[in-house]
Structure 1
Amino acid sequence: MESESTYELPSFAVNENGWGPSTLPDDYKDLPYSFFSRDENLGMIMDLTQVSFAQNRGSAESEQGDNAFTTIDVTRTNTNRKTKLIHTKTNRNYNNANYNNTASGANKGRGQQKKNYNSYQRRNYDTLHIPSIPIKPTWKKICQMDFSDLAKLSTKVLPTATTFAECGSYNDYNPQYDLISVKKPVNLESHKECGDLHSISVMKDPFLSQVSDKNVATVYTTDVALAHLMVAIRSQLSWDLEIIKNAHGIFISHRDGVFDTYTVNETSADLPTEEENKDNCLRTEATAINRDFAKQIMAPHLTKCAYPSPFSPAQDEDPAAIHRMYRYRKFQLSDTQSVLVRTEVHGAQQRSGKAELFNAYAVNEWCPRTPLANRWRSKMETSSGYALAEDMKNNNFRLSKWGVQAILAGVDRVKIGFVSRRNMNNLEAGHVILGVQTFSLDAFTKQIMLNEKNMWATLEYVVKEVSKQEDGNYVMLKDPVKGILHLYAVSEEDMTKIDEAESESESEYSEYSSSSYSEYSYSEDEE
């Protein structure tokens, strides 16, 4: 007969002094243990009821349709919950959840987000991260200049200025525009018939061609090219300059047409995404506004200089044209280095029987569809410096270049016009002038915090580096990503290809040469 199976009771610990076991089994010895109190608030492992505001740019998302989803958590979302949004530089695109709040948003949310995503990518990579000119493998890199090093430069003594010649013509200012206010704005008139304003390169300037043969200076350039170089540390986008070194000196020039349009929001954190606010559209708008503003604020009275315009003498006789005085000025950098610059003066204003020269520029409000639209109209009435301070934040490099050009031209005043769209959502509705503010040259440079000693020291440093090189062709390129200036040695063939790639719209100016004009006579009047 088989023996019956037996059942053994497991060991049982009795705690006579309290509740629970009093001994710890060997299996649980040395096992990590996180202490917790029973009165602590325990949270959920995963909360499926909250709205996600993550941008998730660049991540691969499933393209499944709405029918592929199965509802798991049916907890009703608290619609009154207040969610704190952290504003960042790139927090501009709506999340899918924003579009799912309405039936129409559910249908167009994915397409709109894809559109905004592509706009973000194009602005940040196609525009910001692409060199202004393709770098060829045949180019030889000579050196690079870090912005951090350039920012530390300073000259002890500012260079003295000498006026060589004044060419062209200019209008007087219409003082009625000083009466404009936010409550009494004036429509900005279109002056397309005047044509676009062009800055001609150094090699196509007949005056500079003549005087360079006489070796009156060691460096020849224009105010536009020099402005980019002297305040380069404030730039964000890529740009380039052509440099030619030969027996007559160093020629620093820009490619025709590349600096004829103004950048917009280059130093701003708010990047435009709407179709009407793309880079090219905003640049065209800002450039046209400056052209129209510079023409509209002038009175009919015209003053002609001793010499006609070296580029379009017929414009000096045309009352409908935009007139400019081309002022050629020499700056003595050191005992061995001097620079001759072609500058521009926009007009003159009569004060106490004396004509004070000035340059006029316009800053414009293009605010996208946000609750802050038309903020200039509400802020400028109580704070006259609000609009300029905002533009200083968004267009630091552009304002700095205007300050450099005014210093090089030796003007007495700088006039800033404040222009806004008549309808923020409709560019075709036109623009209005909200006000005109006049600064003395010193006040304007202080307002934009322009370090004049640093900008002249930057020029001296670049000229010194180029002077060390052999005669030839060079390209200075601002790095599209980093704060660095690159200097490349370029062959004659590559330089010719660069010139041939320039816009055909500027080809009419290439016909001008020094032989088209009589010999300039000049006298050096030190200021």
Structure 2
Amino acid sequence: MAPLELNALIAALPEHENGWGPPASVESALNEVPYAPYSKGDKLGRMADWTSEGGKDGRDQRGGRQGYNRNYRDQQVYGAGTSSLFSYQHAEDEASFSVVDNQRTSTKTRTGFTGRMTFRGRGRGGAGGARGGRGGAADRSGGAFQRAGDRSGRDQGRFDNRGGRGGRGRRFGWKDYDKPQRNRDASVVVKPEWKMLEEIDFNRLAKLNLETDEGEDVDNYGFLYYYDRGYDKPAGTKPAERKLVVQDRVVFNPTTTEDPVIQQLAEKDEATIFATDSVLSMLMCAPRSVYPWDIVIVREGKKLFFDKREGSQLDFVSVNENAADPPLETSEGNKDSINAPHALSMEATFINQNFAIQTVNEESKYDFEHPNPFYNEEDTEPLGSKAYKYRRFDLSLNEEEPVHLIVRTELDAVMKTPNGEDTFLTVKALNEFDGRAQGSGGALDWRAKLSSQRGAVVATEMKNNSCKLARWTAQAILARADLMKLGFVSRANPKDNNRHVILGVVGYKPREFANQMNLNLSNGWGIVRTIVDMCMHMPEGKYVLVKDPNRPVLRLYEVPADTFEEAEDGKAAGGDDN
């Protein structure tokens, strides 16, 4: 700066009568100018050193303690490294830029294979010997994809915790690239006039707990035939195979509000909550469910009725609902219509109804105190073996506010013990459709493995049908059945869903089977009590508890009183969308 310019700048500065320097009230001409602190020992040449080489983004890369060494011994710690204020800031990080090789590769490789990707159970992920995860992809085509796969495999192995050690990329399952997104439809159409009151996540439901007693019998209805022990022969052998025959018998399963016995018990104030074992078991095992479902809840005064609508999913038996890759709908790409979820559910329901009737001997009969309450003398079809036990459970938290539940449970057969005592059974059937079809869940061949590896077969069914087996076990415990018979029914021909054979029957005690499945009934009662308390705080009316079709969430809706009731045209006012 020239002396004349410096003198002019000094003359322009106002005088400060009480001190040195310009007064504080005067605005500085150097506002908005970056300031670098300095020490009196600093050289003026180092105040803003434009000649020194900075690191990336202008940062100094001298190392620890501000990089002090003999080359920078003149630089004091105070104010060191502040030259970054004057450095150029890059708008983008050029280190993240990479070049993609889009060169066309030949379909013929050195090994002679055509250009294709092969997905294996334990394959190689990328080139250069980089091992893939379980089910990793091996590209035999070489070229650009192979080199890109090698690079991406290293990157994913570094940043993705599923990739394992270096060189391992994303873990692919069997034909994971070809799996469509599962967007299931809801079991019921949610109308615009429905008001959502609560949304409950399954994680919250799994933490609930309520201890209850074993319940007491209120009334018993119906009759039972004795179980045919001939079906308990060693399973899996040719002589034990029996054809499943269509049985001309009628079995009633009315909903809660249509049950005349429950209506009488409600008028007598025998309990506060009323339900059937089908509805109650679904609610108790809700955290295991995957497929959508819904339950209708009606509050009349201080009473609650857990109901189901006409055509509800609760009336049908699911197949491989909990498998890692459950069956696909036809609209989702399943080429076998007989192995679609809806077709398998109808088949399993048909098998269970006929299996329970076929496995009893109608020559001997056990009558309960009252006859079947749903049978009309005008019906011409004979009744099937079925008993209805109305049992009461105490869900009270304290003596001041008693809460009791009455549930209608069902029994399928009776059997004599070696001591001559009668034991009551529930009879259910697992079904095998096609081990090679999509959605089979890796099930073993029952004809080959049922006799020698029965435990493995049952364990696989527990994994693929966790919700279904848990519901059956809960129903047996609610009915206080002594034994639960599980039949293994397979198709006579995997491509024909109309003809079936019985391969064998296995008996379990319900409590022991629940322990094997890790089924906690106290958690189920906690879920029931939570939903009851939720509805008791609502005004009188009708509510619908809906399982989200694609998420583990329950939603409680308040609906109009005429929802699901028959309209004049014969269709439901708010029915199923299937």
Q: Give the alignment's TM-score, normalised by structure 1.
A: 0.71
Once the two structures are TM-superposed, the CA of residue 158 in structure 1 deviates from its matched residue by 2.2
The change in CA–CA distance for 1:82 and 1:177 in structure 2 (over 3 A counts) is same
The change in CA–CA distance for 1:256 and 1:475 in structure 2 (over 3 A counts) is same
1:481 is matched with which residue? 550
In structure 1, which of residues 229, 235, 259 is the aligned counterpart of residue 289 of structure 2? 235
- Larger CA Rg, structure 1 vs 2: 2
CA distance in 2, matches of 1:44, 1:207: 76
Instruction: Specify the code of the residue in structure 2 equivalent to 1:169.
Output: F
1:138 is matched with which residue? 193
CA distance in 1, matches of 2:355, 2:377: 22
Within-5 A mapping of 1:380-395: 380-395=450-465
Instruction: Specify the code of the residue in structure 1 equivalent to 2:255.
Output: S
CA distance in 2, matches of 1:425, 1:415: 27
Tell which deviates more after alignment, 334-343 or 440-449. Answer: 440-449
1:77 aligns with 2:89: no
Give CA deviations for 1:460-486 in whole Å, capped at 9, x if unaligned. Answer: 111111111111111111111211111
Give CA deviations for 1:116-165 in whole Å, capped at 9, x if unaligned. Answer: 99x976x933xx2x21111111111111211101101112x323411010
Within-5 A mapping of 1:87-98: none
1:124 is matched with which residue? 182
Once the two structures are TM-superposed, the CA of residue 86 in structure 1 deviates from its matched residue by 5.0
Once the two structures are TM-superposed, the CA of residue 384 in structure 1 deviates from its matched residue by 1.5
Q: Which runs of 5+ in 2 are unaligned?
A: 1-55, 57-92, 124-134, 136-140, 142-174, 328-333, 574-578
Q: Point out which structure has higher relative CO (alpha carbons under 8 A, 6+ apart).
A: 1
Once the two structures are TM-superposed, the CA of residue 79 in structure 1 deviates from its matched residue by 6.6
In structure 2, which of residues 372, 379, 403 is the aligned counterpart of residue 337 of structure 1? 403
The change in CA–CA distance for 1:186 and 1:77 in structure 2 (over 3 A counts) is same
Alignment check: 8 A CA contact 1:188 1:432 kept: yes
Within-5 A mapping of 1:211-250: 211-247=265-301, 249-250=303-304
Once the two structures are TM-superposed, the CA of residue 243 in structure 1 deviates from its matched residue by 0.7
Alignment check: 8 A CA contact 1:230 1:456 kept: yes
| Corresponding residue SS for 1:149 | helix
Aligned residues: 409
Share of identical aligned residues, percent?
30
1:289 is matched with which residue? 351
Instruction: Specify the code of the residue in structure 1 equivalent to 2:408.
Output: R
Give CA deviations for 1:201-235 in whole Å, capped at 9, x if unaligned. Answer: 11110011111011110101110010111110101
Once the two structures are TM-superposed, the CA of residue 313 in structure 1 deviates from its matched residue by 5.0
The change in CA–CA distance for 1:461 and 1:471 in structure 2 (over 3 A counts) is same
1:193 is matched with which residue? 248
The change in CA–CA distance for 1:251 and 1:353 in structure 2 (over 3 A counts) is same
Give CA deviations for 1:100-121 in whole Å, capped at 9, x if unaligned. Answer: xxxxxxxxxxxxxxxx99x976
1:171 is matched with which residue? 225
2:516 is matched with which residue? 447
Alignment check: 8 A CA contact 1:188 1:293 kept: no
| Corresponding residue SS for 2:248 | helix
Instruction: Specify the code of the residue in structure 1 equivalent to 2:370.
Output: Y
1:303 is matched with which residue? 366
Once the two structures are TM-superposed, the CA of residue 237 in structure 1 deviates from its matched residue by 1.2
Give CA deviations for 1:477-514 in whole Å, capped at 9, x if unaligned. Answer: 111121111111112233536996459xxxxxxxxxxx
Give CA deviations for 1:145-200 in whole Å, capped at 9, x if unaligned. Answer: 11101101112x323411010001111111111114211332233225225x5521
Instruction: Specify the code of the residue in structure 2 equivalent to 1:253.
Output: D
Alignment check: 8 A CA contact 1:415 1:437 kept: yes
The change in CA–CA distance for 1:251 and 1:82 in structure 2 (over 3 A counts) is closer
1:103 is matched with which residue? none
Q: Give the alignment's TM-score, normalised by structure 2.
A: 0.65
The change in CA–CA distance for 1:337 and 1:315 in structure 2 (over 3 A counts) is farther
Alignment check: 8 A CA contact 2:444 2:457 kept: no
Q: Which runs of 5+ in 1 are unaligned?
A: 1-29, 35-42, 51-72, 92-96, 98-115, 504-527
CA distance in 1, matches of 2:480, 2:189: 36
